[in-house]
Amino acid sequence: MPLVTTEKMLMDAQKEGYAVGAFNVENLEMVQAVVGAAEELKSPVILQTSAKTVQYANFSYFYSLVKAAADEVSVPIALHLDHGNSFELAMQALRVGYTSIMIDGSHESFEENISLSKKVVDACAPSRISVEAELGKVGGKEDDIDGGDGGLTEPLDAKEFVERTNVTSLAVAIGTLHGIYKGVPKLDLERLSEIRKVVNVPLVLHGGSGLSEESIKECIKRGICKVNYATELRIAFTEGVKQALAETPNIIDPKKFTTVGREKVKQMAIQKIKICGSVGKAKVAAL
């Protein structure tokens, strides 16, 4: 089916108490793996590319890959720019055909973040393209994203931010990190519940890789509607390739070792979709 935006997809998730998995993809095999997992489980899914990933190739390559995959399946697929770091980059994604865009002004002041986010919302409004923003700083480092030690989202600031920008979803900082966790993260779940009380748009959890199943489910229970995964998919793909090369050192056909990486990513995506609780929700999200 055609690519869809994330606004209705996430509002449906908010209404029914589940989340949609958002998976960072970096090549053909990862796109195939995530879409294959979604189709198998009849789940809506979001495929996303970071600013660093589109520097490696470009928006057109990834749009074409994801559109081709979406056209072959019956489940809702959205293509999202993850951590767009400038208005110009967001507009590149919009022009190419991305159906959801994140503008990350969280490293700016509160007022500058509002101004940048609203500018992107206004530019995307005629095309009815969803816009995600971030308030607070999700810590850790992944690609060019460096949130340092982070900075938690204040509930009343979140309320004002959403009202003034009209974003369709909001990424919040409650103690998660980008990249690989060192030890067990301490999530401020009460803060999440307070944000949910005063913010009516779907909330997004960045740094999903490495969180326990119990933690993610509790976050969903308290209002998270979109969970981002990147690092664990990279690890899965790399481990699959390494395994194939170790077992058959004389392989020279890339298809033979990337196939193993693809299957590892698919199984990882299946696991995360089940944790998010979106199995069988494709029909709901497509209506």
- Could you give the residue numbers annotated as active site? 82
Residue type, 101: I
Question: What is the distance between the alpha carbons of residues 189 and 218, in angstroms, rounded to a whole number?
Answer: 8
Residues with Cβ within 8 Å of 179's Cβ and at least 6 positions away in sequence, in order, are: 140, 141, 142, 207, 209, 231
Question: What is the distance between the alpha carbons of residues 96 and 59, in angstroms, rounded to a whole number?
Answer: 7
| CB of 138 closer than 8 Å to CB of 175 | no
Cβ atoms within 10 Å, residue 26: 19
Question: What is the distance between the alpha carbons of residues 195 and 199, in angstroms, rounded to a whole number?
Answer: 6
Residue written as token pair 């690609």: 143
Question: What is the distance between the alpha carbons of residues 106 and 85, in angstroms, rounded to a whole number?
Answer: 9
